[in-house]
Amino acid sequence: MMPSESSMFPIFYGIDTQVKHNLERVLRAFRQHRVGSHHFSSVSGYGHDDLGRDTLDNVFAEVFQAEAALVRSQFVSGTHAIACALYGVLRPGDECLAVAGAPYDTLEEVIGLRSSGQGSLAEFGITYRELPLTAADSVDWDALETAIKPNTRLVHIQRSCGYSWRTTLTIAEIERIVATVKRQKSDVVCFVDNCYGEFLEDREPTAVGADLMAGSLIKNPGGTIATTGAYVAGRADLVEAAACRLTAPGIGSSGGSSLNQNRLMYQGLFLAPQMVGEAMKGNYLLAATFDALGYPVKPNPTVAQRDVIQAIKLGSPEKMVAFCKAIQQHSPIDAYVEPVPAVTPGYDTQLVMAGGTFIDGSTSELSADGPLREPYVVYCQGGTHWTHVALAVEAAVAAIGPA
């Protein structure tokens, strides 16, 4: 039985208040940098002196409370931006330490945990270590107190739950991680995978001490308008180091034409706080509905949303596929397509994905996916307006029934 939508309205009002605060942050940056229609133009070739692109970098830096930002359509994904950040900072002999459990699946080959011969960090003599989560699926704060070694150069902090059954980190928790790390070794670079987390709170990780972070534009900050790309933001020298991995040393952030994407990226950033707010409303509705049906959900409907992902433990591959089919059938694009489990580049297990989105792979629009492995959790992401999520939820309930 679905909860009354009207019972959600007090929660929705609180989300709208947060949206207003974050939108003011965006508008302030647009004013500060005098954004005008002339910034929508682009240059060709090398991309030198692309005014719209360079101003967009400054706007992102202001919004994300960072020294600098690199916003580029040449980043093919959030994983690509993260990889550029890691390769920009780390050198042979350095250690990369993940402190919030295992990183997202697509980073395993970047790190060198699987596959070989593609130039992983491991192949360049960079070691990797991770702190397992506690039995309660939270950061092991006791272990973190003594985790930093002499060769630890970068601490990897994944903000979102990703494809794991854990709670997404809050900004306060990220601030605590950074402070704990810096007490042990002040020059360790604290890097945050910020995918799915932008605009969930009134600050970003770079406002609480994170040195560097990265995320995808076809997730939160693209507002469903950006057609591709990603960003890196943080300390100016570290952002430039990542830029040199995207392009080449000596070129760095000065290269890369914006390819007439500027207007979409500016507009997407303007829309982003509202889109994130709607996704949060949809997540509350999902959580309340499937919790009432007896399915374990994370986060549960009584706690604040921490990213735009709502995890639902369905318990069987059949229910996962049925759930995703229902979401696909209520998507605006490719509603006639039937999701089937398949191997996807960057993952070591089959995934089933529903995502009839206007931007291929976008998770700021409504999507649902997950790896077909125990305990069979589906991860619902995004949603441009909660009413669309409500229609899809009704169909999903009809497809799988109670637990």
The alpha carbon of 260 is separated from its chain's Cα centroid by a whole number of angstroms, namely 24
110-121 burial: b if 16+ Cβ within 10 Å, else e: bbbbeeeeeebb
Domain covering 20-268: architecture: 3-Layer(aba) Sandwich (3.40)
Of 391, 363, 370, 367, nearest in space to 289 by CA: 391
Measured CA to CA, the distance from residue 64 to residue 301 in angstroms comes to 28
| Sheet-wide strand order for 377-381 | 297-298, 309-313, 377-381, 367-371, 351-354
Q: Are strands 377-381 and 309-313 parallel, antiparallel or unpaired?
A: antiparallel
* Domain positions in the chain: 5-17+273-400, 20-268
Determine contact, residues 108/114, Cβ cutoff 8 Å.
Answer: yes
Q: What is the CATH number of domain 5-17+273-400?
A: 3.90.1150.60
Structure confidence at residue 1 (pLDDT): 55
Which stretches of the chain score pLDDT less than 70?
A: 1-2, 346
Q: How many CB atoms lie within 10 A of CB 323?
A: 27
Q: Identify the DSSP state of 170.
A: P
Q: How many CB atoms lie within 10 A of CB 80?
A: 20
Q: Half-sphere exposure of 56 toward its Cβ, with a 13 Å CA cutoff? A: 37
| 3-class DSSP state of 370 | strand
Structure confidence at residue 380 (pLDDT): 95
What's the pTM? 0.94
Structure confidence at residue 92 (pLDDT): 98
Looking at the DSSP bridge assignments, the partners of residue 371 are 351
Of 310, 385, 303, 312, nearest in space to 11 by CA: 303
| Torsion, Cα of 219, 224, 227, 229 (10° steps) | -30
Q: Half-sphere exposure of 39 toward its Cβ, with a 13 Å CA cutoff? A: 19
Q: Half-sphere exposure of 141 toward its Cβ, with a 13 Å CA cutoff? A: 9
The alpha carbon of 255 is separated from its chain's Cα centroid by a whole number of angstroms, namely 25
